[in-house]
Amino acid sequence: MLDMVRAREVFEASQDFTVGLEEEFQILDPDTLSLAQRYELLRAGADADPVLAAAVAGELIESEIEIRSGKGATLADAVASQRDARTQLFRLAAEHDTRLAVTGTHPWSPWQDQRVIDTDHYHRVEEGLKYVAWRNNTFSLHVHVGVHGADRAIAVCDRLRPVLPELLAISANSPFLDGRDSGLHSVRTQIFTKSFPRCGIPDPFGSFQAYADYVDLLVRTSSIVEHTQLWWSVRPHHAFGTVEVRICDAQSDGEAATALAGLIVSCVAQAARDYDESVPFDHPPGRLVEENFWRAIRYGLDGRMIDLTTLEEFPSAAIADRLLAWTAPARATLGIEPSIAVENGAQRQRRALESGTPMRDVFAAEADMAARTYANPEVRA
């Protein structure tokens, strides 16, 4: 049984606005740029490195590797740790004649060719989901933000529901799949959130007790055995006492990923501030949040979103400015000034493809960008 009493205690002891970053990388053959199943090779090399030994983790498939910053007291602390791990990971990959790339999906490598990594957790995932797990060759950015108080953490998750599609639109970086332009801006999200159970944007819970009752029901009915089987795009993390935001595509540009993480931390902190100050907020119905969610998947920053307060449309290109305006009080307190690009990765890649650049060359440019901006963080794309 999942211990929800213990989970509550973790949040009651949690510290506000600590930060943890998780970034997922594609492992590539250096010649073909196709996915290469070399996680175990890189894992063995990481074990000999004092920076990477604790930072590297496996994900679902053997052609994927994740690095984790660990808990930083501030965003700056987490970013510093993550930049060190990024640099070392790219160095390690080069030493093993391997390349890394960072887009939400690989443009052409078949999912049928990928193998699930050999861990108890992912064997359970595979056994429980079968095709849904096999098809999920996706790569994302996750941000953990400490939130003190169990009810407060649930309130923050609830408040972020309408914000999640907006963060997705900013981060959209997966236009290609199966060797073709999908027509979507985030085909990663379509594969993952529209296939996995207990995924996407949840209903508001209103209180930690309501959330705990739901989790207890899932356990009692043999639906889940661990809280990480709640794959929502925002979730309370029972072990860390964090609100984990999981909506975003992986970013080709390392500094864009850092800026996006800063915006996410700001959104979490502002949601907590609004809760503390009893700022009125009417939770929009799921059907309206889902409409914006689809618009973000399909059109990214090229489309229009619905303001769920006025029920009027606005250009998606204005999302960043709107979120920066909302989060200004929290950002002033935390000293966060993220520089959000006006163009996301999906727009950049599709623009290149439509100009006549072959898809392989478009992807090669994204891999080159990752090598410049993750392995050498002072170098801008």
CB 159 within 8 A of CB 275: yes
User: For residues 302 and 316, is the Cβ–Cβ distance under 8 A?
Assistant: yes
**pLDDT score of 376:** 72
Q: What is the dihedral of CA 100, 104, 108, 109, to 10 degrees?
A: 60
Using DSSP's 3-state secondary structure scheme, residue 303 falls into coil
- Contacts (Cβ under 8 Å, ≥6 apart) of 50: none
Domain ranges of the chain: 4-373
- CA separation, residue 35 to residues 31, 51, 369 (Å): 11, 25, 17
Instruction: Flag residues of the chain having pLDDT under 70.
Output: 1, 377-381
β-partners of residue 314 are: 305
**3-state secondary structure at position 37:** coil
Token duo for residue 219: 């356990």
> What pLDDT does residue 2 have?
81
For the domain 4-373, what is the CATH code?
A: 3.30.590.20
Rama region for 17: left / alpha / beta (φ>0; ψ in -120 to 50; rest) = left
CA distance 185 to 349: 10
Query: In the numeric block, which tokens belong to residue 59?
Result: 């994900």
Q: How many CA atoms lie within 13 A of 91 on its CB side?
A: 12
Residue whose tokens read 């990388």: 25
> Model confidence over 249-297: pLDDT tens digits?
999 999 999 999 999 999 999 999 999 999 999 999 999 999 999 999 9
Half-sphere exposure of 343 (CA within 13 A, CB side): 10
8 A C-beta contact, residue 37 and residue 106 = no
Q: Under a CB-based contact definition with an 8 Å cutoff, are residues 378 and 112 in contact?
A: no
CB atoms within 10 A of CB 32: 12
Q: What is the pLDDT of residue 1?
A: 56
Q: 291 and 169 in contact (C-beta within 8 Å)? A: no
Which of the 8 DSSP states describes residue 229?
A: G
Whether the pTM exceeds 0.75: the reply is yes
